[in-house]
Amino acid sequence: MAMNITQKVIKKHLVSSNMAAGEKIAIKMDQTLTQDATGTMAYLQFEALGVPRVKTKLSVSYVDHNTLQTDFMNMDDHRFLQSIAAKYGLYFSRPGNGICHQVHLERFGIPGQTLIGSDSHTPTCGGLGMIAIGAGGLDVALAMGGDPFYLSMPKVVLVKLTGKLQPWVSAKDIILELLRRLTVKGGVGKVIEYGGEGIKSLSAPERATITNMGAELGATTSIFPSDEITRAFLKAQKREKAWIKLEADAKATYDEVVELDLNKLEPMIAKPHNPDNVVSVKELEGTPVQQVAIGSCTNSSYRDMMTVASILKGKTIPPDVSLVIAPGSKQVLEMITRNGGLTSMISAGARILESACGPCIGMGNAPSTKAVSIRTFNRNFEGRSGTKDALVYLTSPEVAAAAALKGVITDPRKLGKKPPKIAMPKTFIVDDNMVIPPLPLKKAALVEIIRGPNIKPLPEFKPLPSMIQGKVLIKVGDNITTDHIMPAGAKILPLRSNIPAMAEHVFAPIDSAFPKRAKEMGGGFIIGGANYGQGSSREHAALAPMYLGVKVVVTKSFARIHLANLINFGILPLTFANESDYDQLERDDELELDVSGLNGKNLKLKNKTKGVDIDVKHPLVGRDIEIIKAGGSLGFVKARG
């Protein structure tokens, strides 16, 4: 049978079930990655499994999120992560080595393999032909322990690219256009697979920009073929032996096909406060800009940095604009330092940040009050920048550099007919001196785990009772993000390994009294709208509410990763059988739910305050039901032995 790329990789790694869309499947994971904001909890969970050494082909622990050291907490976490890596057989990418997705693309990604990472932008490595999936830290811990990853077999959507990008139009504009067409819910339950003649003009880093931001579509992952362009990139990284040819069969079929003519594409921009709020740049020309931030795992490659450096060369940014630039990896930073690109940036007035996530997760460089901030990042949720009333726009490096020079949103095509032409290096500088390889078994056995005072034990996981009673603790609308539920930023991220402290900030951007109310009421219910839990993979958006006693979340629909995280931590996810019943519930309503019939799909939610019964349903099958009954995946795995 003819197969597409997605089917080929999944079939090779399939552990159970069959590849019918919607069927629950289990696939073996070859690689894992974590970053420090999610990694501390993931490794506490891995320790709880009692496995002496990771069982994957390769696992890497990165430090790239919590690099702002204003007190002991982040540094303590980094020491903990380094000792964990040494003891359990992981590679450790030290602070300063770069953003996990950029580094993994450069140094570890392998076409045809599978990767699971505790970061929603793990699909970046789909640019190399990997099935790379973002997930909660517990799913990553289980994969390191040798368990497969469970998911619903996704539909496969072919995005057929024709033509060629015109001058000043970039790969970022491709994914922004897809977000404009499909929205942040358009990829839910799907893999976005790229094909067509148009892919031949896209380098591996450009493909990675597109697959990275496929996370904003809600897609399970995105993937490109592994072809001669992939091979050239791996050869330049001195990893040509990792290359395999991987492409769809000539008669492969897809569940959907989306056609995009690159010849007709123009510079695009996402307006506040959602990545799918996309228009052409020319529609917003002249809007004054106060800040420009260039970098993130979406746009911090060598090509991106040199494009910006070439645009800025010999010029000076206006006094009303703050420009910050973060190269994506030590490799990128070293190369633009040696060839003069960094000098062009500094001379133009840019502030150079370390090779880390930084402003993208609100870790420094927050905009001024009500500022317009142009960013080459992947998310522009309200308040994510660190300034609640800032207006954050998402663009390509070309558009960002043009805005930095002109002080207003500017179509980069007005900078000249010929854009900078950045050739991919035939050889990258390869120096992995900031990556610590796994220790041999005998030495690893002698390593002691270093735990700072901010690293607290895992919360207790309690089995699901047959009857759940409680009040509606909060009711929220559509497209609630994990940033709304469990915010990031410099003040809260250092608490990631301290759930009691972090739980004090649940729903802080929406209702700062939520934690106090939840504790006083002994927990209860959360009511949400459509696409609840979109955005980051942070499992703390499930774990911290669980700690506060939340037992059930009822919504119109869930984002994929957050749904999995709720199940992992024993919170029952339900959806309305009739979405109009959302209007039947209000905060403080007294609810009752009999879950003794959980093996069936349909349940009755009693609103005792209003005297109405509401039909709800759950997406759980087989193993998921047992996990919920056990109070979460850790309890389930321990009971399984």
Both structure tokens of 490: 């410099």
Residue in 405, 410, 401, 373 with CA at minimum distance from that of residue 389: 373
Burial per residue of 270-306, b for 16 or more beta-carbon CB atoms within 10 angstroms, e otherwise: bbbbbbbbbebbbebeebebbbbbbbbbbbbbbbbbb
- The better pLDDT of the pair 376, 454 is held by 376
Return the pLDDT at 425.
94
Helices (H), 339-490: 341-348, 397-406, 441-444, 482-485
- Mean pLDDT of all residues in 273-293: 97
Burial of 235 (0-12, 13-18, 19+ CB in 10 A): middle
- Note the pLDDT tens digit of each residue in 111-145: 999 999 999 999 999 999 999 999 989 999 999 99
Cβ atoms of 59 and 86 within 8 Å: the answer is: no
pTM above 0.75, yes or no: yes
Cα–Cα distances (Å) from 262 to 127, 198, 265, 497, in that order, read 18, 7, 5, 45
Q: How many CA atoms lie within 13 A of 567 on its CB side?
A: 23
Catalytic residues: 64-65, 119, 379, 536, 538
SS3 content of the chain, % helix, strand, coil (to 5): 35, 20, 45
Tell me the pLDDT tens digit for each residue of 495-525.
Answer: 888 999 999 999 999 999 999 999 999 999 9
Mean pLDDT of the chain, nearest integer: 94
How confident is residue 354, by pLDDT bands cut at 50, 70 and 90? very high
Q: What angle do CA 192, 198, 204 make, to 5 degrees?
A: 70
Segment 365-380 mean pLDDT: 95
**Under 8 Å between Cβ of 105 and 208:** yes
Closest residue by Cα to residue 380 from 212, 553, 535, 543: 535
**Contact between 117 and 38 (Cβ < 8 Å):** no
pLDDT, tens only, 552-577: 999 999 998 899 999 999 999 999 99
**Whole-number percent of the chain with pLDDT over 70:** 100
At residue 301 the predicted structure's pLDDT band, cuts being 50, 70 and 90, is: very high
Distance CA 93, CA 104 (A): 10
CB neighbour burial string for 416-439, b if at least 16 within 10 angstroms, e if fewer: eeebbebebeeebeeeeebbbebb
Q: Could you say which DSSP state residue 245 is in?
A: -
Residue 598 is predicted with a pLDDT of: 86
Which domains are assigned to the chain? 5-262 (3.30.499.10), 272-413 (3.30.499.10), 467-632 (3.20.19.10)
Q: What is the pLDDT of residue 641?
A: 61
| Cα separation values, 224 from 111, 169, 451, Å | 10, 20, 41
Q: Kindly give the interhelix angle for 330-338 and 100-107, rounded to the nearest 10 degrees.
A: 80
Question: Strand, coil or helix: what is 329?
Answer: strand
Say which residues have a Cβ less than 8 Å from residue 516's Cβ, sequence separation at least 6.
Answer: none
Identify any residues that bridge with 469 across adjacent strands, giving them in sequence order: 592
DSSP 8-state symbol, 288: B
pLDDT over 90 for what percent of the chain? 84
| Per-residue pLDDT at 490 exceeds 80 | no
Token representation of residue 386? 């660190």
For 269, phi and psi rounded to 5 degrees?
Answer: -150, 140
Which backbone phi and psi does 33 adopt, to 5 degrees? -140, 150
The residue to which tokens 């395999």 are assigned: 244
- Lowest average pLDDT, out of 336-340, 612-616, 631-635, goes to 631-635
Q: What is the pLDDT of residue 68?
A: 84
* Number of residues that make up the chain: 641
Q: Compute the distance between CA of residue 636 and CA of residue 475 in angstroms, rounded to an integer.
A: 30
Angle subtended by helix axes 36-49 and 633-640, to nearest 10: 20
d(CA 471, CA 315): 60
